[in-house]
Amino acid sequence: MPPAAAPARRVARPVPAPPPRVLVAVRELPDSGLVVRMSRGQLWIGVLGALLAGIVALNVVSLSLGTSAGRLSPRIERLARENSALRADLAQRLATPRVQAEAARLGLIVPGTDEIGYLSSRDGDAAAAAQRLAAGLLGASLPAELVAGGGSAPATSTSAAPTAPVAPTAPSGGGASPPPADGGGGGGAGGVGA
Amino acid sequence: MRLIERRIGLLFAVFCVLLAAVFARAFWLQAVRGGELQAEASAQQTRSVVVPGHRGRILDRRGKELAVSEDAASVFATPYQVKDPAAAAAQLAPALGVPAAVLRQKLSKRETGFAYLARKVDLAAAERVRRLDIDGIGVLPDSHRVYPQGELAAQVIGAVGIDNQGLSGLESGYESELHATDGQRKVTRDALGQTIEAKTVRGERTGDELTLTLDAAIQDRTEKALAEIGGQYAPAGATAIVMDPRNASILAMANWPPVNPSELTNVSQADLQNRATGFTYEPGSTFKSFTVAAALQDGIVGPDTSFYLPPEIKVADRTIGEAHPRGAESLTVSQILAQSSNVGAVTVGLKLGAERFDPWIRRFGFGRQTGIGFPAEERGIVPSLRDYSGSTMGNLPIGQGLSVTPVQMAAGYAAIANGGTLRAPRLVTELDDDPIEMPRGRRVLSTRTARKVLTMLEGVLAPGGTASEVTVPGYELAGKTGTSEKAINGVYSKTRFVASFVGFAPARKPRLLVAIVVDEPKGDIYGGSVAAPAFGEIAGFALPYLRIPPD
């Protein structure tokens, strides 16, 4: 009887390492029920189409806004230029020499200093004025054309008696007065006159 | 099955080749020729536009515009691009208002790369040029300075050059504040030339706004008063300063002859000068007030101190007489000032002495700039004590032998008028709405002394005074006349004089000071008759205008 064969040695086979979880997830993705359902549904096509249309629309709107802003820009510049020209024109029309010449043409004159009276303010005057103003009485004594025109009487043109003595009117023309009693030019060494 | 796989492989290969071709083309266009193509596209689609910044406005104290900037344009040519210079010149001439011959000459210089055809033309003219659409002709945005009040305060405000840089006056003195910076905008256009994008590369900066102490109405009246002097006495020049002596704010600073700031081509430098700060002269009798004020403050004399005055006084080798010969008489210090006695003023000066008198001249601010902040302000000439000769004290007390500017005189008199505080005159009150701090004054006289001098100066406009003809009804006035001979080549001229007057109102509590200086008047020479009446005219307008009641 032959000796019993030794039992065959069982060779240990290496166990392959399991693939990374991410890879497994990616591999299994096409078989995912959700993906299968989504990719089969026609709605998905509509969603993608809408997204693409949205992107295009956004670009169109942006371009359109840029164009209209570009169209507005020269208009703004033109208006700014017109504004500056109008301001300069207004300033020229309101120039003091022009206004005074026009006033003179209309027969308006600057009152002489002796034609203007001044009132000394007293305690309570401001309160009284405020009351009259509130009651709408302040303009009552003004000429109708001033009230109607929204004008106001100059503060210095009140009709009260002047507080200073009033000298006879004497036009103070530039240089038209006669020479003074005293004159110069003859000092001994380069005389200095009055 | 294999056939299908082969076809798929082939298709894949074709797509790969196509993709490779696309990538290669993209690389060629973007990497190799990218810069060149980008530059070409940029040149075709984008344009850099200059946005001119506006120079700051100059306003009077009530906000009236004295100087503003307005949009304009400059028309230029690239001559070698102009195909037919003669035809182009003929088309452009009516649009620009420039003779065709001048334009043709500029356009015919083919070697020139750039030439201005017209500067600072109005926008309507620029638009006409644009519409002509001539090759080689372009329009650049620009701005030009407008002076809405015309000749008003022209020498004070000054003028700007062709490139909007300040040349004179405040335009030059405040150049860094008024100056504007141009902006830049990048405009992208589509194939049809329509703007699709405008990006601001650099924003334009408007210059700061300058608010002056000047009042356009008072300035106008002052200039009219000077114009009357100019018409009547035909002087070489004249200037007037109107000031509020309480704070040294200048309400008017006028010059004659007037100049048009927009037409300076034929204006002489002398006429362009602001004489108030740039004209130096021997003040003559107007200086006597300072001599008397110094002697009063040092307690040497009082208003009623009486001196026995001979007809003439000899100081070293010089003999000083009166303007009008008189006999020996006794005059008080008040009378010396009212009658403007040369002998009396020299006597007071000699009593004070050179060592005490010299510091007083400087204390009142003579010999240095007032601090008004106006460009090219003169200092005047004041001799130093070590340079005094034996006869110097025969000259200085009567305003000879030194030179001053009108604004120095106004500032000195303002110190007397406001109770003894010398302040730097103020011409600019706000810079871009920020108030400029008022400089602190320096006390030079006690209030009591200032009051005494002021009272004495009332005598000048009282009967018997040298300006007794001048009145402003309702108001008490004070002031001092001056008539000085001009020194020509070291010799006092007998034909050329400077007539001046400094006056205040109301006399007891001055709120208005007017200084008038007339250089070489003809026909009449005296301060009392040439300059003082203008004071009456200016004060007669300004007092009620400023609502200043009588004393």
CA B274 to chain centre: 6
Q: Which residues contact B309 (CB under 8 A, 6 or more apart)?
A: B328, B329, B330, B331, B336, B341, B343, B344, B347
Give the per-residue pLDDT at A142.
55
Distance (Å, whole) CA B255 – CA B235: 12
pLDDT band for position B421 (cuts 50, 70, 90)? very high
Measure the N-to-C terminal CA separation of chain A; round to a whole number of Å.
Answer: 169
Residue B190, φ and ψ in degrees, nearest 5: -90, -175
Using the predicted structure, report yes or no on whether residue A181 has a pLDDT greater than 50. Answer: no
CB contact under 8 A, B69 and A70: no
pLDDT band for position B440 (cuts 50, 70, 90)? confident
User: Smallest CA–CA separation between A16 and chain B, in Å?
Assistant: 32
Using the predicted structure, report yes or no on whether residue A4 has a pLDDT greater than 60. Answer: no
Q: Would you tell me which residues 418-437 of chain B have a C-beta closer than 8 angstroms to some C-beta of chain A?
A: none
User: Smallest CA–CA separation between A103 and chain B, in Å?
Assistant: 13
B340 → closest Cβ in A63, A112, A182: A182
Residue of B508, B529, B535, B551 to mutate when probing chain A, most A C-beta within 10 A: B529
CA B298 to chain centre: 38
Q: What would the mean pLDDT of A37-54 be, rounded to a whole number?
A: 83
CB contact under 8 A, A112 and B342: no
Q: What is the dihedral of CA B15, B16, B19, B23, to 10 degrees?
A: -170
CB contact under 8 A, B228 and A190: no
3-state secondary structure B111-179: CCCCEEEEEEECHHHHHHHHHHCCCCEEEEEEEEEECCCCCCCHHHHCEECCCCCEEEHHHHHCHHHHC
Q: Which of A121-135, A139-153, B286-300, B426-440 has the highest mean pLDDT?
A: B286-300
Q: Smallest Cα–Cα separation from B538: which of B450, B453, B491, B477? A: B477
Nearest chain A residue to B544 by CA: give it: A113
CB contact under 8 A, A177 and B321: no
Burial class (CB in 10 A: 0-12, 13-18, 19+), A86: exposed
Give the per-residue pLDDT at B113.
82
Q: What would the mean pLDDT of B318-336 be, rounded to a whole number?
A: 91
Q: Point out the least confidently predicted range of A72-86, A168-182, B467-481, B488-502.
A: A168-182
Give the per-residue pLDDT at A8.
53
Give the per-residue pLDDT at B456.
94
Q: What would the mean pLDDT of B108-119 be, rounded to a whole number?
A: 87
Residue B547, φ and ψ in degrees, nearest 5: 55, 45
Q: Would you tell me which residues 461-480 of chain B have a C-beta closer than 8 angstroms to some C-beta of chain A?
A: 464, 466-475
Are B485 and A190 spatial neighbours (Cβ–Cβ below 8 Å)? yes
Q: Could you tell me what percent of chain A has a pLDDT over 90?
A: 11
Give the per-residue pLDDT at B51.
82
Summarize pLDDT for B389-408 with one digit per residue, the tens.
989 999 999 999 999 999 99
CA of A39: how far to CAs of A28, A34, A45, in Å?
15, 9, 9
CB contact under 8 A, B526 and A183: yes
Summarize pLDDT for A47-106 with one digit per residue, the tens.
889 999 999 999 999 888 877 887 787 788 888 888 888 888 898 899 988 898 899 999
Q: What would the mean pLDDT of B254-270 be, rounded to a whole number?
A: 89
CA of B163: how far to CAs of B120, B143, B182, B224, B376, in Å?
10, 9, 12, 32, 22
* Higher-confidence position of A193 and B99: B99
pLDDT band for position B306 (cuts 50, 70, 90)? very high
What are the structural domains, with CATH classification, of chain B? Answer: 48-212 (3.90.1310.10), 216-260+272-545 (3.40.710.10)
Distance (Å, whole) CA B373 – CA B426: 8
> Kind and range of the H or E element at B504?
strand B491-505
Nearest chain B residue to A93 by CA: give it: B148
pLDDT band for position A148 (cuts 50, 70, 90)? very low
Query: In chain B, what residues touch A71 (CB-CB under 8 Å)?
Result: 194-195
Q: What would the mean pLDDT of B122-126 be, rounded to a whole number?
A: 88
Q: What would the mean pLDDT of B466-481 be, rounded to a whole number?
A: 93
B45–A contact, CB cutoff 8 A:
no
Q: Could you tell me what percent of chain B has a pLDDT over 70?
A: 99
CB contact under 8 A, B533 and A177: yes
User: Smallest CA–CA separation between B343 and chain A, in Å?
Assistant: 9
pLDDT band for position A172 (cuts 50, 70, 90)? very low
Q: Which residues contact B308 (CB under 8 A, 6 or more apart)?
A: B328, B329, B330
Give the per-residue pLDDT at A186.
36
B225–A contact, CB cutoff 8 A:
yes
CB contact under 8 A, B475 and A164: yes
Query: In chain B, what residues touch A101 (CB-CB under 8 Å)?
Result: none
Tokens standing for residue B235: 């002087």
- Cβ count near B209 (within 10 Å): 17
Q: Smallest Cα–Cα separation from B60: which of A91, A75, A43? A: A91
pLDDT band for position A192 (cuts 50, 70, 90)? very low
Q: Which of B69, B74, B172, B285 is catalytic?
A: B285
Kindly report the average pLDDT of chain B as a whole number: 92
Give the per-residue pLDDT at A170.
33
Q: Smallest Cα–Cα separation from B180: which of B54, B339, B33, B48? A: B54
B340 is catalytic: no
Give the per-residue pLDDT at B266.
82
Would you call the peptide bond into B506 cis, given omega within 30 degrees of 0 as the criterion? yes
B485 → closest Cβ in A114, A176, A191: A191
Using the predicted structure, report yes or no on whether residue B466 has a pLDDT greater than 80. Answer: yes
Q: Which of A23-27, A138-142, B518-522 has the highest mean pLDDT?
A: B518-522
Give the per-residue pLDDT at B292.
97
Nearest chain B residue to A116 by CA: give it: B544
Measure the N-to-C terminal CA separation of chain B; round to a whole number of Å.
Answer: 123
Size of the A and B interface in Cβ pairs below 8 Å: 262
- Cβ count near B201 (within 10 Å): 11
Give the per-residue pLDDT at A171.
34
Distance (Å, whole) CA A138 – CA A147: 10
CB contact under 8 A, A185 and B285: no
Residue A95, φ and ψ in degrees, nearest 5: -60, 135
* Higher-confidence position of A192 and A87: A87
Using the predicted structure, report yes or no on whether residue B283 has a pLDDT greater than 90. Answer: yes
User: Smallest CA–CA separation between B536 and chain A, in Å?
Assistant: 6
Using the predicted structure, report yes or no on whether residue B218 has a pLDDT greater than 80. Answer: yes
Summarize pLDDT for B335-372 with one digit per residue, the tens.
999 899 999 999 999 999 999 999 999 999 999 999 99
Using the predicted structure, report yes or no on whether residue A107 has a pLDDT greater than 70. Answer: yes
CB contact under 8 A, A88 and B146: yes
> Kind and range of the H or E element at A92?
helix A43-93
B541–A contact, CB cutoff 8 A:
yes
User: Smallest CA–CA separation between B229 and chain A, in Å?
Assistant: 6
Q: Point out the least confidently predicted range of B102-116, B135-149, B184-198, B342-356.
A: B184-198
3-state secondary structure B443-466: ECCCHHHHHHHHHHHHCCCCCCCC
CB contact under 8 A, A85 and B150: no
Kindly report the average pLDDT of chain A as a whole number: 69
CB contact under 8 A, B474 and A73: no
pLDDT band for position A38 (cuts 50, 70, 90)? low
A188 → closest Cβ in B216, B312, B541: B312
Are B213 and B250 spatial neighbours (Cβ–Cβ below 8 Å)? yes
CB contact under 8 A, B467 and A180: yes
Q: Point out the least confidently predicted range of A33-42, B73-82, B509-518.
A: A33-42
Q: Which of A15-24, A144-153, B436-445 has the highest mean pLDDT?
A: B436-445
**What is the pTM (predicted TM-score) of this model?**
0.79
B316–A contact, CB cutoff 8 A:
no
CB contact under 8 A, B544 and A192: no
CB contact under 8 A, A185 and B225: no
Residue of A96, A98, A158 to mutate when probing chain B, most B C-beta within 10 A: A96
Tokens standing for residue B44: 């075709």
Q: What would the mean pLDDT of B461-479 be, rounded to a whole number?
A: 92
User: Smallest CA–CA separation between A83 and chain B, in Å?
Assistant: 9
B187–A contact, CB cutoff 8 A:
yes
Nearest chain B residue to A95 by CA: give it: B149
User: Smallest CA–CA separation between B34 and chain A, in Å?
Assistant: 24
Q: Coil, strand or helix: which one is B331? A: strand
CA B119 to chain centre: 25
Ordered by start, the domain boundaries in chain A are: 21-93
pLDDT band for position B383 (cuts 50, 70, 90)? very high
Give the per-residue pLDDT at A153.
37
Would you call the peptide bond into B257 cis, given omega within 30 degrees of 0 as the criterion? yes
A179 → closest Cβ in B69, B323, B524: B524
Distance (Å, whole) CA A73 – CA A76: 5
